[in-house]
Amino acid sequence: DAFLLGNVAPDVHIGFMVPDYSHKVRYGRSHQSYPGSLPIPSYKRYQRNFMGGLNPAEYLLQTDFIQPNVSYCLAEQRGLVDQRQLREFIVGIWCHLVCDHVYNAHTRAFLRAHHIPTGEDARIRKQADFDVYGRSLVMNRLPEASDELFAVAAAHPQYGFTHSDVEQTLQVIQRIAEENRQNSVSSPQYQMLDTEFFSSAYKEAEETLVQGFMLQKHN
């Protein structure tokens, strides 16, 4: 559950996903990216800043104590924070940033190749195509609410999750999954992007994720 919630955590406080979030977090901070019309999140910068420079496979094996975010994790919650689950939450965020990095980089390349200017129109068309793409996928598992999950999210040192933030995020995930199920498509029709774009980006994202979960050989 912690890993799955981490998969969407970077989008919670930037205004794109949850309508009533507790506070704003700048996209550049939440996604470790530089400003721009189509910013490229940096999972490598996230690794350096929040995972000690380790890949997920190595990071999950660490045993050093992660100090909880005392501004959000209440005293009575701290005993519920499982350090392994907190690491899984952090790794879930890494996975989100990998996918955003790959898909945004591919989008930039696609726009250049097709002489499409960046801007609001391209952003809207891109989002519409990603919504259609999402309806072609199957979500087999969703995060479920528990006191432990609320505690882990609150303890996360970077974003600052309130109980309401987590509760609303879980509701949004459930709604999106249900809408995608009801409106599922087997042959997506896109406005701007194309099937080759999604196939290529998916392959690169998958390869990057798999590589991250492989232990590195050190000489």
Residues 70-87 as b or e (16 or more Cβ within 10 Å = b): eebbeeebeebbeeebbb
Neighbours of 127 (CB within 10 A): 13
Q: Are 85 and 2 in contact (CB under 8 A)?
A: yes
Phi, psi (rounded to 5 degrees) for 73: -85, 110
Terminus-to-terminus CA distance in the chain, angstroms?
A: 35
Cα separation, 151 vs 166, whole angstroms: 10
- Quick one: angle between helices 147-155 and 163-182, nearest 10? 110
- The reply to whether the predicted model has a pTM over 0.85 is yes
Domain ranges, ordered by start, for the chain: 2-200
pLDDT one digit per residue (tens) for the chain, 219 residues: 999 999 999 999 998 899 999 999 999 999 999 877 788 999 999 999 999 999 999 999 999 999 999 999 999 999 999 999 999 999 999 999 999 999 999 999 999 999 999 888 999 999 999 999 999 998 889 999 999 999 999 999 999 999 999 999 999 999 999 999 999 999 999 999 999 999 999 999 999 999 999 987 665
